[in-house]
Chains A and B, each alone.
Chain A
Amino acid sequence: MIATIEPELATVCQRDTTLETLLQQPEGRRILSCIQCGICAGTCPYGEYMDFPPRRIISMLRRGLMEEVFQSDSMLRCVACYACMTKCPRGIRLSDVLLPLVKEQTLQRAPEMPAELQRSLQNTLRYGNPMGESSRKRANWVTTSPVPVPILAEIRRPVDVLWFVECYTSYYPRGQDNSRAVARLFNALGIDFAILGNEEKCAGDCGQLTWESGLFETLTDYNMEILRKYKFNRLVTGDTHAYNAFRIRYPMYGFNYELEHTTPFLTRHVEQLKPRLKKPLNVTVTYHDACCLGRRAGFYEEGRTLLRAIPGVKLVEMVHNRMNSLCCGGGGGGMWLDTYFKQKGMDRLSERRIKEALATGADVLAISCPYEVYRFEDALKTLPHARPMRVRDVVELLAESLED
């Protein structure tokens, strides 16, 4: 069942669409028009490891042979990178509709869930974050911020920007670097902002993409209730997955706040920011397009615009860029499937990506999704390379260049 859909999606299928009813929906008619060209399978980063890449799923669906598909774990290998959906010449919204429905059935029939994934989802349900940290420590990072980070429950007044921090950026040290940078940038721009603090819980995008719709709904209900408590003009988040969830799924639960990701948000303020970016970084940077920000939302140039605004940054491109970017492998639950993928003899997508980044000769790999710090820093540890390379979020680089 599709538990949630964005308003734009609502025109192609219903909230309660299942694989049985899909073909009667407008999206189903698109699926009937599939010409079996195979571009979905060809572009899929794990296509060669799937018995049933999207093209074959469609032909099995049309012949009524889906049980066979559910018996295979092909769909577990989907990292929700949106590449198939972006390139499909029939405009079939694979990653939005068909693939999650198949993933749900696959998981329901799987003899056992991959352990790492199971644990993360349980943690998310229990503690509101996949790492199983105490929810009372969520806002602890604030004490390490060089600028004040107001918490809504404490300041008791409406704010312009509600900054939804999210899990990795709250708990993990390298994620906190990102948060500290955002705080400094907001401060420098004079933005009236505050965070939810310990009241915040994971937005649940990955719960949704791994098709744990029950888990997702628990989180949605919770977060929506908290959001309703406060007054703010817009919600801004630096986490592309939270952004994805708020953009695509939450509207079905009454979410209709103005929403922005930090990268486009800061790009809107780039002229104001530029005079404050004083420290030249003198580095060559290559930019990785995050799937949920690039392919899914169309923000390709914003990250690059910000990087170009930093003095002493030379921008170079990887072979796969913008709509053709290669996924880091963290989406759709991939973040917690590394062990599983390894057992299955699959290479790590983050390593594939790092090889391209290294080939550019850049000093810095710039990113705009908090998952990627871990994925790419890990990959750099396992891949031998001669020239050192750093992984930095765009906001970190901006903050680095910011005058004190």
Chain B
Amino acid sequence: MRTPRPDQVRIGFYICHCGTNIAGALDVGEVVNHVAGLPGVALARDYKYLCSDPGQELIQHDIRDHGLNRIVVAACSPLMHERTFRRAVEEAGLNPFYCHMVNIREHDAWVHTDRQEATAKAKALATGAVRRVALHKPLETKKVPIHGEVLVVGGGIAGIHAALILADAGKRVYLVEREPTIGGHMARFDKTFPTLDCAACILTPKMSAVGAHPNITLWTYSEVTQVEGYVGNFNVTVTRKPRYVIEDACTGCLQCIEACIYHDARFPDEFNLGLGKRKPIHLPFPQATPPVVLIDPGTCIEFKTGKCKKTCVEACADRRAIDFQQREETRQIQVGTIIIATGFQTFDPRRIPYYGYGVFPTVYTALEVERLLNAAGPTGGEVILRNGKPPQRVGIVHCVGSRDENTNRYCSRVCCLYSLKLAHLIKEHTGAEVYNFYIDIRTPGKGMEEFYNRVAEEGMHLVRGKVADVYPDPADPANGRLMLQVEDTLMGRILKVPVDMLVLSVGLEPRADTQEVRRKFNLCCGPEGFFLERHPKLAPVSSYAEGVFLAGCCQGPKDIPDTVAQAGAAAAQALALIVRGYTEQEPNTAYVREEDCSGCKSCIPLCPYTAISLAADKQKAFINEALCKGCGVCVAACPSGSIGQNLFEDEQLLSEVEGVLTYA
């Protein structure tokens, strides 16, 4: 091996064909020829798949045989393979930060159709990279230890499952749920497709396991209000809303509810979506976890007048669980990793006024029907309409708020199946004629097509067409009968179908507070508004925030089997970080050249990661490397130019820009 003089830059340039992904769209040979002639370039090559083992070995041999000390790889996005090539370069004895990637796949080959122009762009980008890499400095990655505790946000089936896996593995889990009970949407269902097992039978054992697990701290009626820090070391503030009942003292005997001064339940019950009634002191549903009642100050007489006889307190007696003075409390915790499992909300069908939801009392959402079917629901499991009668003819409209440019463009994935489920259950409960109006029936997944078959064989009417209009049946307007107008597209005929009950299969949407949660945890959202995974295929549970993972419907609509699978994966990823014990930090951090810093403090409020403070003794800005994410805001903002950034030094960037421009 020849040892070049340390000040002599010897660049190796490699361009990847990526099969035909790159080579099909631009002339790799021409790029190689061009780069080979640039100053500092000792060698330029193309290769079919550089990320393959032989590809990496090629680079490693060249480093040794040709004394290369800088490497430029023109290939895919650095998000995909920067790590691969840095590792390969490091194994060959070079500092990994002497390797630089140029993205000519996503930024070039995939987005252009003109071969010549695409080749020219690749040359320009490569020239920039060659200029830049010559100025690279050796850098070191830092190892940061990881706390073993995990925060799980959201206690639906996703959060429950992830929490249990981690707790069973011996990790401390904080499960924070906004509602008074965990369970999420699944707790509201009667049965679940495709097997029709009872939702409660499979969910409530897991709920109580969460409640009883020594490694799980369960905070319901709570929300994460602040998150600081970084992977391995998050400082989290949780706010606990007052339920006016002391959790540790309440035994869940429910005698207080019995004793409430209101004899009858008379306030709309949130858990039953307003279809049933509750008292001011209530438990959302019998298997609520924790089994702790709560008081709604908006309806409780004591809160409104201060003059209640407080029969609830009497009934509670020496358990003394009721505390009208309870205040909001905050808790501080430190965790190493976070799992976001905040789920979804159902589409509000008032946004499609022609389906008459909120206008005609016989129009229901699918979720409301789940409650009507549920034995613990407001009607004890009987499907009866608001007028007290069971329906004889029921229409179920698919794709309400899905696959629609006017509302949500995407397919909500579960509605076909839950509509078939509801059709089966409604028929079973009432014997009604049930019509499913669909655009396409989508039933992929294990056991799903079989379930579709089964329901079809039971004699459902399956009409292919999107219901266009809903109005009171002119022949029978008094009984709340509705007429559905729809084209049966397979027959090519306009049908008018009278029904007593209309069920809207509402789609799954990002929760209303998604943007708030996104900001709090530094996440990204996709175009439809769900949290964005790091890679749709290869990193489906990682978010763009290091150490924060996604599980369940907050990442996109999915059924329970997929939700549980994803929750397991998120738990495993969190566990993988904890078990390793540390993370590596990109050294692309900003640093202060103290001699130039005037201590003006303009950078401090700008830093989105609160990484900058004023060193009191020196009156100079101080950047906490562990917190710095390398966003560069302070670098650009510093009035005296005294902040630099590793890997993004001014001279490096300017040479890169020059390189790009000189080619063009």
Contact = CB atoms under 8 A, between A and B. Distances in A.
B197 interface: no
A123 interface: no
Given A48-B494, A89-B405, A91-B406, A41 B354 contact: no
Nearest to B488: A38
B424 interface: no
Contacts of A37: 399, 439, 465-466, 489
A72 to B, nearest CB: 13
A42 B494 contact: yes
A38 B405 contact: no
A322 B353 contact: yes
B322 to A, nearest CB: 47
A43 interface: yes
Given A35-B440, A37-B439, A42 B354 contact: no
Interface residues of B, number: 25
Given A42-B467, A319-B472, A320-B471, A35 B405 contact: no
B463 to A, nearest CB: 10
B471 A38 contact: no
Nearest to A90: B405
Interface string A346-357: 000000000100
A91 B494 CA distance: 22
Contacts of A53: 487, 494
Contacts of B41: none
B213 to A, nearest CB: 45
Given A35-B440, A39-B466, A319-B472, A55 B353 contact: no
B192 interface: no
A174 B465 CA distance: 43
B466 A42 contact: yes
Interface string A317-339: 00110111000000000000000
Contacts of B353: 322-324
A42 B403 contact: no
B439 A323 contact: no
A89 B466 contact: yes
A36 interface: yes
Interface in B350-379: 353-354
Contact of A87 (B464, B468, B471): B468
Contact of B354 (A36, A47, A324): A324
Contacts of A323: 353-354
B403 A35 contact: yes
B354 A38 contact: no
A42 B485 contact: yes
A84 B472 CA distance: 21
A319 B360 CA distance: 10
Contacts of A320: 469, 471
Contacts of B474: 355
B292 interface: no
B492 interface: yes
B486 interface: yes
Contacts of B476: none
A56 interface: yes
B405 A47 contact: no
B2 to A, nearest CB: 58
A319 B440 CA distance: 29
Interface string B489-514: 10010100000000000000000000
Contacts of A355: 474
B90 interface: no
Nearest to A356: B471
Nearest to A36: B489
B404 interface: yes
Q: Most chain-A CB neighbours within 10 Å: which of B353, B466, B486?
A: B466
B336 to A, nearest CB: 45
Contacts of B440: 35
A26 B420 CA distance: 36
A89 B489 contact: no
A220 to B, nearest CB: 31
B487 A38 contact: yes
A43 B468 contact: yes
Interface in B456-482: 464-469, 471-472, 474
Contacts of A319: 471-472
A323 B353 CA distance: 8
A359 to B, nearest CB: 8
Interface string A385-400: 0000000000000000
A228 B203 CA distance: 74
Interface in A4-56: 35-43, 47-48, 53, 55-56
Nearest to A52: B492
Interface string A235-256: 0000000000000000000000
Q: Most chain-B CB neighbours within 10 Å: which of A35, A41, A320, A322?
A: A41
B487 A35 contact: no
Interface string B230-251: 0000000000000000000000
Contact of A43 (B439, B469, B492): B469
B406 A89 contact: yes
Contacts of A55: 487, 489
A37 B404 CA distance: 11
Nearest to B355: A324
A39 B468 contact: yes
Interface string A56-94: 100000000000000000000000000000011111000
Interface string A88-126: 111100000000000000000000000000000000000
Nearest to B467: A42
Contacts of B489: 36-38, 41, 55
A298 to B, nearest CB: 13
A322 B356 CA distance: 12
Contacts of A39: 465-468, 487
Contact of B468 (A35, A42, A90): A42
A38 B472 contact: no
B157 to A, nearest CB: 30
A56 B471 contact: no
B460 to A, nearest CB: 19
Contacts of B403: 35, 89
B471 A42 contact: no
Nearest to B486: A42
Given A39-B466, A42-B467, A89 B404 contact: yes
Contacts of A43: 354, 468-469, 485
Contact of A35 (B439, B471, B488): B439
A296 B336 CA distance: 54
The 4 A-B residue pairs with the shortest CB-CB distance, nearest first, are A42-B468, A38-B487, A43-B468, A91-B405
12 contacts: A35-B403, A38-B466, A39-B465, A39-B468, A40-B468, A42-B465, A43-B469, A47-B487, A47-B494, A56-B492, A89-B406, A324-B353
Given A40-B468, A48-B494, A89-B405, 16 more contacts: A35-B403, A38-B488, A39-B465, A39-B487, A41-B468, A42-B465, A42-B468, A47-B494, A53-B494, A87-B354, A87-B468, A88-B405, A89-B403, A89-B466, A323-B353, A324-B469
Interface of A: 35-43, 47-48, 53, 55-56, 87-91, 319-320, 322-324, 355
